[in-house]
């Protein structure tokens, strides 16, 4: 997969306004009602990730979940990252 240009990244970020760029990553913090909902959300994200064969880094802190996406093979952001971010937004 081809790494996106700065212009393409800016356009893609407009599609997922809750995600923030952090260097070669995009990140999203999600705060849920409790630990059980956070865990359920992570399982759902995991299913999406498996289907896309693209896996985010996931940190769980009680009811907060931090998701980080980047395409390691491309050493940066690709369309794959933004497509998965869009799918994650749909389940929220």
Contact 4, 15 (CB under 8 A): no
pTM of the model: 0.94
| Beta sheet of 64-69, edge-to-edge order | 20-22, 25-31, 64-69, 57-61
pLDDT confidence bin for 1, thresholds 50/70/90: confident
Q: Is the pLDDT of residue 28 over 90?
A: yes
Q: Which CATH class is domain 6-91?
A: alpha beta
Mean pLDDT, rounded, for 40-51: 98
For the chain, what are the domain ranges?
6-91
Is residue 22 classed as helix, strand or coil in its secondary structure? strand
């Amino acid at each position: 997969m081809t790494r996106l240009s700065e212009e393409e990244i800016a356009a893609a970020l407009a599609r997922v306004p809750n995600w923030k760029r952090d260097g070669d990553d995009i990140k999203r913090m999600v705060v849920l009602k409790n630990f059980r909902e956070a865990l359920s959300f992570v399982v759902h994200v995991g299913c999406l990730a498996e289907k896309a064969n693209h896996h985010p880094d996931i940190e769980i802190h009680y009811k907060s979940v931090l998701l980080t996406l980047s395409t390691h093979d491309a050493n940066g952001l690709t369309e794959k990252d933004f497509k998965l971010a869009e799918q994650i937004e749909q389940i929220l």
